[in-house]
Structure 1
Amino acid sequence: MGRSGPAPRPPARAATGRPRSSGPDRRSPYPLDMATELPPERCPPEAPPSSRRPADHKLVVPQGHWNAIARRDLLGRMFAPPPHEPRVVVLQAPAGHGKTSLLLQAEATCRARGCSTGWLTLDDTDDDASRLFDHLLDLADRLTPDSRHEASSHRGQLGRPPRESRVVERFASVSAAGAVFIDDVHFVRNRAALGLLADLLARPLPGIRWFIGTRTHLPIGSTRLVVTGHAMVIDAEALRFSPSEAREFFDQSLGARIPESELRAITEATEGWPAALQLYRLARASGDLVPGAWQGEVRGSGHLTEYLSENVLQFQEPRVRDFLLATCVLERMCADLCDEMLDRSDSAEMLGVLEQRGLFVRRLSTADGWFTYHMVFATFLRDQLRRGSTELVTQLHLRAASWFDTNGHLEEALRHYAAAGDLALAADVFDRWLDNLIPDGHMVTVERWLGIFPTEVLVRFPTLMVKVLWALAFLSRHQKRDEILHLWTATPRSSVGHGSADPAVVRGVIDVLADDLVESERFFDGIEPDPDGRANRFRTFELGVVCNARGYRHLAEGDLSRAIDVLSLGRRLNHRIGSMFALAYSTGKTALVLMSQARLVDALELWATTRSETMQHLEGSLAEASLVSGHISGLYESGEHDRLLAEFDEFRELIEVGAIHDYLVLAHRSVARAHALRGETAAAVSVLERGQGLAHAHQWPRAARLLVLERARLELLAGRSEQARVMVGGVARSTAGTVVRCSEEIEDEHIFAARLHLHRGSAERALEVIAPVLQIAARQGRALRQIKLQLLAAAAHKRLGDRLVAHRRLAAALDLAAPGNCRQSFLDEGDEILELLDAHRESVRSAPEGSAAAARRRFIEALRPDAVGREAGRGALGGPPERSAARIELTDREKEVLIMVGNSMTNVEIARATFVTQDTVKYHLKNIYAKVGARNRIHAVRIAQDRGYC
């Protein structure tokens, strides 16, 4: 490209309101001197990039064309009398079949009926679940003028992802009947984004109807909805003009009746394709197209379209033709933009003329003067333009890019610079745009755009590479991350870049993600966050992440008070810049600190609140995986096993892809223990083996070791202490240390060693292991860890016959656990602890209210009704647990699957209906058969019918 770095940014707007720069030649290649009677319409001044909402133009209903034909038959089907009126209408056909026109007529029909309506037009920038989510929330707000929504109303709804819960809640809050129109959905290909749409369409919301326009079939559940009578799909064949509609179209638009033979010929040749009929109208209206002359010129509708397009373009005045060719490179356009590209001042008038003539120009809104070309005609124009001067195409893209850049539309500037082949300027724009993309958590968008840049461009922008590393690290794209990191390391620092991106911070974060706390700290040394917020947005984001990493380290080192303070500062910094992505991580880590302090109620509330407020910004990220995994561990400690299993089922793929070492252990260990409590040992082992394999694949030996310890614990539950000892390679010999990760609070080498000694009949050796570890946990304020250690010590003293000391140990554990309702640690340790609890309750039966003993009594009584916990607890320190299928209930998802089995649905159909994989369906069925004691599918249905499930 012949440049050592990016060209200077275009200067600010001149007083004339049109930007000038010393970049490409701004003289128009097309002389435009046309004057019209239409009033000029200019784009209003735009807000600064930091405050403008770039998606607003997507939420405005386009303006229908003046000669659009009313599709009465199709509208009659779409608005059939209840109960036949479909809840979801999908228009599915290639470009040019009139999908948008029909959607506009349906929107007008809804408004005429008194319905509130919302419109969303998507494009290729929306293939990112977090961006799509934001659009949908905006769309719901437009249906509900009074958009005061209580964030707490869906906290804790964990059977489905919170982003869906929030959108569903927002649409459900629409007080009157509403209709949602989403056009060009074919641009969405991201699995998570499609899942979001599918979930919305699948949920009946009172008064809400959905109208979808797409060029291709999408996996959004429309087929199933059609089968169940909830949806209607209008395809290309139905969208073609009938002979009567074609007659009406020509009579209305031409103002004269064309011969029946000509009408029949053109309708048959185009197969009623609306775009081709419009082209024919335009060509015939010019007066130069001889009726019937085209019949010998073309073969098939594709050739006919090209032939007619050439005629339409050829018979326009030169000034109109030149304007069309010059502006067809734009996805959307306004007068100021076109003036800048053509060095003219009459583009507003020209756009009005094109709209009036029906030259495939659609007004995006009547307020701000944005227009777009219809895809069929735009494709033809761009092909014609490419046949000419390549240099001209490049110049047009550069001029468009300069205007978009100057006006703060960075993504469109990036697109045009890339189309012009100037990847250096594209990289400069990308570098600046990343200052907002990264803090906003739009990592998928970052990864998508990164793919256009070759190595030789990236090495000239080291700050860009540093920022990109954030996205790749948080998306767990390890191979690509390492490639960019190696490239950055080899890049001379004399290269250019925008702003400041501190490589030390992202390098330290990468080490944290690699489970190397010691190495990470050296990168953060000397970095002191500014609590007063004088740094720019990206730097503030970096400082917030430094706080997160330090809070993580302080938690591991046992400085819990300092961890809370540092994480609080991180939350303040991230909240100040609106970085929900980083805010969610720091808040989730704070919840783990609270759980370490046995403040489980507070931790669960913080997790639920954070997820309800931030999850839409986290799609597929490490932050989302961390929140989910941490919350699953909290649900286990509170004894809410059905909820944690449902949540793991929903987020299994996210956890396996996005969760790092500690969180991987927290999730898989909690799920395995929940299965073990239900007597589902095989399922527990399977979960642990899967987690262990993931830990090895990511080269996290510590995490893998912890999951091996948990598998060995299952052997102890089954009374096989020797197998457990062999599995872990003997009893841990290491000295108790002060560093304890969040995944090691309730189970590590020392706790397992103490438990193993107890199982092998050596209570004295168990107490020797427990004593120093407990002393450190008490000094550090790790209440949850103390509870576990005190219970093991109580069991050891009981076995030694020292019941008085055993009760003191138990009382200490109860005093720590009761305020935060930390129940599970007691139920996990089996009959010995349950017997001690019963005896202790009797000893404090007469304790006066308000005393510590009375609080212990109430907590013990709250534990007693937990039949499942007691059932599974037998054998935790003794023999294998007894199983009672009659006392094990199915989860809501399992009931749903069983009902579908009863309705003769196959595994494939169940997977589609529930938006999970077939393996997940098989997993549910295996659990169902085990719980109800079924021998096969038919037997399971019979048992379910007897129990009232279906």
Structure 2
Amino acid sequence: MAGSLIASKMRVPVVRGGSVRRDRLDGPLDRGVAGPLTLLSAPAGFGKTTLLADWLACTGRTSAAWLSLDERDGDPVRFWTYLVTALRTAPGSPAGFGDAALALLTAPRPSTEAVVTALLDDLAALRDDVVLVLDDLHVVDAREIRDGLALLLEHLPPALHLVVACRADPPFPLARMRARGELVEVRAAELRFTPDEVAAYLADAAGPGLAPADVVALEERTEGWIAALQLAALSLRGRADVGGFIARFAGDDRYVVDYLVEEVLRHLSPDVGDFLLRTAVLDRFTAPLCDAVTGRDDGARTLPALERANLFLVPLDDHREWYRYHHLFADVLRARIPAGRLPLLHRRAADWFERHDLVEESVEHALAAGDVDRAARLMERAVPAIRRSRHDTTFRGWLARLPDEVLRRSPVLGVFRGWSLMVAGDLEGFAARLDDAERALAAVPPGSEPPWADTEELHTLPATIAVYRASIAQARGDVAGTAAHARRALDLARPGDHLSLGSASGLLGLASWAEGDVASALRTFGRAVTSLRAGGNVVDELTSTAVLADMWLAAGRPLTARRVCERALRRDGGAPPAAAASLHVALSGLHREAGDLGRAREHLGTADALDDRGSVVEGRHRRHVAAALLAAAEGDPDAADVLLDRAEQDHLPGFLPDLHPVPAIRARILLRRQRPLEAADLVRGRGVTPDDRADPLREYDHLTLVRLLLARRRPDRATGLLERLLDAAQSAGRARSVLEIGMLQALALDARGDRPRARETLDRALTGAPETAGHVRLFLDEGTPVTDLLRDVERHGTASEQARLLLGPSPDVALTGREIQVLRLLDGELTGPQIARALYVTHNTLRTHTKHIFTKLDVTTRRAAVARARERGVL
């Protein structure tokens, strides 16, 4: 992306001669530099850009970064790449500034919050003040960009001062900033020319001979609107009846502009008028481009002449090579271009941009010309660059503008259009796109040249289609189909196509997992992670590692799962934030399972800080589920319910087997709250019965049903189902399931009054578990019935040590559960306010808990409390 940036967008515009110096506004702008935000908000044509450029030039602010925005900058990756590059190229920017943020932007599915966090780290190290100007911010309205800017503004270090020029207020907390004195505003009322400024401007622009009364009348009619004054001054040149013109002049925004432009155009030579109308289709232009579009050869002479005539030409660089028209002027010109001429002008522009390898502009003009076939060919060529730079928003926008029949003819574009349908949950639509792509590929006779762009994506498309078919099968719960399509993808993958190889192996591993064969899943999914690493897909590699940890947990190896995640976080160069967030979510779940709720909360907080709404939907789903289970373990079922609502909203099929469905999780929490009727409704909705055969994909639902039967005092109804589930889990090596089923069998026996057999069953289950200490919550979540059995095993069973580990130490200090939570967080690096935020309590409430802990442990400091707790076995 960096190589294709337009440097002129990041340069302070050159102030043209004849502009009026508005030094009265230097004071407010200078005051703004003392705070985080200066906002210039006014309609078009009020001179915001000129004012800021003039202020920077005249006040000698050399440490300034400038970014002129346009509609194409609505792509989040493009926007943040430009912003970071503008800052790093500003005078005084240290070496290496922005490297981390730019590296994150090249990753698949870059996290906006992670990019902003990396940028903030670099900004915090700045020694000199920097002013960052974002000009025309109103053209960018993507939610990810707005949220990222709000985050940047919230944590803005003192060295950076943000100046925003826009036509409408940005979605920042302006009221709060205004109340805190953190905002300086310059609005239309201040930007309007004063009578003296109007007189100074008209004396230069309209020439001498303008009577003072005429100046006053024009100032009143325009109300100091600079664009209208500029247009009026052009219309006044050489006019005999100046007074009459001013008397007829009306001050109604767009109608005034239309009227004045018509007056300006009417007085231009036909050659100049024709040049303006032909080149108005261009967002930016240079002389050779103008010649290509107009079919003339006078661009090099005409552009300087237009600039000298103040015909709304804005230079985009110091060399006067690239220009654009003032936006209002361009809008009015475009409205006057005959409709029949537009396709030809856009085709010519597309030709020129294509010859100069400016593919994005070429695509835009081809689409505007209605030449959809050509646009499709250009898009096919652009796919590799778009995917590398992660301009997914731009690409999806292009695809949405292509007719359906064109997409169906292009296998590459059809497949990528289909993927966007799958992300939206339309599996049938995605499958139909894959069918179209395969038919198009099959229609090309062997040995003949295909009618599409010869790109790597075209060559790897058969394997890609097979991978996507495996994803659809998985989303439908078709385990056999998932495996079959994944194997076909492996057969079709070309040597070195690590993405296809890794994706196919991953899906094959997930199919084994869904079948309950954890050993095969671990082997195959491990190969997938290796392939992704070989292909340099770091984010995919490490997010897959989090899934691998889930498989180790299913194999009954929670400590191994934890080591896998911790090793991935310590990889050379560190884990990219998006991947690190997934790993921290996995670690949060593992620590919660092990009974360490404090560390679980820490990891979840870290994941929240690293990730944002721009993350993968499935990642958000997993984070919400982890947070809900943690909230339930901490005794806050209401918070868990809200988080599960969010998880259901964000869940989409096709990413991972749904082995822990949200309704079943919700039912288990309701059972712990002694609300079996509500839980029964959810279980009934899952369609499971005690007579079902064992099915690994439905095991979580079945074990939820067992808990419901026990709550309803119907243990006999659960016995047969538990035996079938146990046989299936043992034969497949799912040690965690074996442990859970054994625990539930013991509870069923105890509910029937057979305590000796219940103790023996639980003792046997604990003895066979490879890593009992990592499964604390599995037992504690069942409450008193299980803890009573565990104490019985501790006294009389062969697994007494395992039972003791699950029960935890019996401290001689009567600390409450909440106080133990606080104590665990005190045994870390978090500050008091950070601990309060982690626990969702006020700082005063935290002080109360801390005081009680100190009193009970007979200490006076945090360090002494932790040491005493360790001595007494509390920690």
TM range (shorter): 0.7 to 0.9
Aligned-pair distance for 1:329? 1.1
SS in 2 for 1:213: strand
What is the 5 A alignment of 1:566-577? Answer: 566-572=527-533, 574-575=535-536
Question: In the superposition, relative to structure 1, how do residues 60 and 864 fare at CA in structure 2: closer, same or farther (>3 Å)?
Answer: farther
Mind listing any 5+ residue stretches in structure 1 that lack a counterpart? 1-49, 617-622, 845-851, 874-888, 900-926, 932-950
Q: Pick from 629, 632, 639: which aligns with 1:673? A: 629
CA distance in 2, matches of 1:893, 1:119: 42
Q: Pick from 51, 66, 80: which aligns with 2:31? A: 80
Which residue type is aligned with residue 675 of structure 1? A
CA distance in 1, matches of 2:681, 2:214: 89
Equivalent residue number for residue 448 of structure 1: 397
Aligned-pair distance for 1:547? 4.0
What is the 5 A alignment of 1:134-173? Answer: 134-142=81-89, 144-147=93-96, 161-173=113-125
SS in 1 for 2:771: helix
The question of whether the paired residues in 2 share the 8 Å contact of 1:401 and 1:416 is answered with: yes
CA distance in 2, matches of 1:148, 1:652: 22
Equivalent residue number for residue 108 of structure 2: none
The question of whether the paired residues in 1 share the 8 Å contact of 2:40 and 2:165 is answered with: yes
Which residue type is aligned with residue 382 of structure 1? R
CA distance in 2, matches of 1:709, 1:245: 71
CA distance in 1, matches of 2:645, 2:54: 56
SS in 2 for 1:131: helix
Query: Cα RMSD between the aligned structures?
Result: 5.2
Residue range with higher mean Cα deviation, 453-462 or 858-867: 858-867
Equivalent residue number for residue 800 of structure 1: 756
The question of whether the paired residues in 2 share the 8 Å contact of 1:394 and 1:420 is answered with: yes
Which residue type is aligned with residue 250 of structure 1? L
SS in 2 for 1:234: strand
The question of whether the paired residues in 2 share the 8 Å contact of 1:431 and 1:497 is answered with: yes
Equivalent residue number for residue 359 of structure 1: 311
Q: Pick from 508, 518, 526: which aligns with 2:480? A: 518
Equivalent residue number for residue 424 of structure 1: 373
Which residue type is aligned with residue 553 of structure 1? A
What is the 5 A alignment of 1:751-766? Answer: 753=706
Question: In the superposition, relative to structure 1, how do residues 278 and 608 fare at CA in structure 2: closer, same or farther (>3 Å)?
Answer: farther
Which residue type is aligned with residue 658 of structure 1? V
Aligned-pair distance for 1:760? 6.2
The question of whether the paired residues in 2 share the 8 Å contact of 1:625 and 1:659 is answered with: no
Equivalent residue number for residue 190 of structure 2: 238
CA distance in 1, matches of 2:9, 2:744: 61
What is the 5 A alignment of 1:539-554? Answer: 541-554=499-512
Query: What TM-score, normalized by structure 1, do the two folds share?
Result: 0.70
Equivalent residue number for residue 199 of structure 2: 247
The question of whether the paired residues in 1 share the 8 Å contact of 2:39 and 2:183 is answered with: yes
Residue range with higher mean Cα deviation, 484-493 or 679-688: 484-493
Aligned-pair distance for 1:405? 1.9
Question: In the superposition, relative to structure 1, how do residues 355 and 842 fare at CA in structure 2: closer, same or farther (>3 Å)?
Answer: farther
Which residue type is aligned with residue 681 of structure 1? P
Question: In the superposition, relative to structure 1, how do residues 76 and 687 fare at CA in structure 2: closer, same or farther (>3 Å)?
Answer: closer
Aligned-pair distance for 1:79? 1.4
What is the 5 A alignment of 1:465-476? Answer: 465-476=414-425
Q: Pick from 657, 664, 688: which aligns with 1:709? A: 664
The question of whether the paired residues in 2 share the 8 Å contact of 1:794 and 1:810 is answered with: no
Q: Pick from 350, 362, 381: which aligns with 1:413? A: 362
The question of whether the paired residues in 1 share the 8 Å contact of 2:38 and 2:162 is answered with: yes
SS in 2 for 1:80: helix
Equivalent residue number for residue 275 of structure 1: 227
The question of whether the paired residues in 2 share the 8 Å contact of 1:89 and 1:232 is answered with: yes
Question: In the superposition, relative to structure 1, how do residues 209 and 106 fare at CA in structure 2: closer, same or farther (>3 Å)?
Answer: farther
The question of whether the paired residues in 1 share the 8 Å contact of 2:281 and 2:346 is answered with: yes
Instruction: Tell me which protein shows more helix as a share of its residues.
Output: 2
CA distance in 2, matches of 1:804, 1:258: 107
Greater relative contact order structure (CA < 8 Å, 6+ sep) = 1
Aligned-pair distance for 1:774? 5.3
Equivalent residue number for residue 332 of structure 2: 380
Q: Pick from 473, 495, 505: which aligns with 2:467? A: 505
CA distance in 1, matches of 2:544, 2:265: 59
Aligned-pair distance for 1:271? 1.7
SS in 1 for 2:317: coil
CA distance in 2, matches of 1:756, 1:656: 39
Residue 251 of structure 2 is aligned to residue 300 of structure 1 = yes
Deviations 1:85-139 (A, max 9, x none): 44211222222111211232344467x246x322222222222334333333334
Equivalent residue number for residue 433 of structure 1: 382
Residue 60 of structure 2 is aligned to residue 60 of structure 1 = no
Deviations 1:580-628 (A, max 9, x none): 5x55654543454455542344455478789996567xxxxxx999889
Residue range with higher mean Cα deviation, 214-223 or 245-254: 245-254
Aligned-pair distance for 1:370? 2.4
Question: In the superposition, relative to structure 1, how do residues 794 and 732 fare at CA in structure 2: closer, same or farther (>3 Å)?
Answer: closer
CA distance in 1, matches of 2:96, 2:612: 33
Q: Pick from 162, 187, 192: which aligns with 1:210? A: 162
Query: What TM-score, normalized by structure 2, do the two folds share?
Result: 0.75
Equivalent residue number for residue 69 of structure 2: 122
The question of whether the paired residues in 2 share the 8 Å contact of 1:171 and 1:208 is answered with: yes
Which residue type is aligned with residue 674 of structure 1? L
CA distance in 2, matches of 1:182, 1:137: 12
SS in 1 for 2:357: coil
Deviations 1:344-396 (A, max 9, x none): 56534443343344322222222693221110221222233x1x4x4433222
The question of whether the paired residues in 2 share the 8 Å contact of 1:548 and 1:585 is answered with: no
The question of whether the paired residues in 2 share the 8 Å contact of 1:185 and 1:213 is answered with: yes
The question of whether the paired residues in 2 share the 8 Å contact of 1:750 and 1:769 is answered with: no
CA distance in 1, matches of 2:45, 2:409: 43
Equivalent residue number for residue 403 of structure 1: 352
Equivalent residue number for residue 618 of structure 2: 659
Equivalent residue number for residue 702 of structure 2: 749
CA distance in 1, matches of 2:488, 2:633: 48
Aligned-pair distance for 1:401? 0.8
What is the 5 A alignment of 1:919-938? Answer: none
The question of whether the paired residues in 1 share the 8 Å contact of 2:98 and 2:122 is answered with: yes
CA distance in 1, matches of 2:742, 2:76: 46
Which residue type is aligned with residue 138 of structure 1? T
Deviations 1:657-691 (A, max 9, x none): 9339xx85x55554443333343334545655776
Aligned-pair distance for 1:312? 3.4
Aligned-pair distance for 1:51? 7.4
The question of whether the paired residues in 2 share the 8 Å contact of 1:160 and 1:647 is answered with: no
Aligned-pair distance for 1:425? 1.6
Deviations 1:562-594 (A, max 9, x none): 234332244236526x8x5x5565454345445
The question of whether the paired residues in 2 share the 8 Å contact of 1:63 and 1:366 is answered with: yes
Aligned-pair distance for 1:643? 5.4
Equivalent residue number for residue 408 of structure 2: 459
Deviations 1:132-154 (A, max 9, x none): 333333344345432267979x9
Aligned-pair distance for 1:517? 3.3
CA distance in 1, matches of 2:526, 2:657: 28
CA distance in 2, matches of 1:69, 1:868: 71
Which residue type is aligned with residue 472 of structure 1? L
CA distance in 1, matches of 2:288, 2:99: 42
SS in 2 for 1:75: helix
The question of whether the paired residues in 1 share the 8 Å contact of 2:590 and 2:600 is answered with: no
The question of whether the paired residues in 1 share the 8 Å contact of 2:719 and 2:748 is answered with: yes
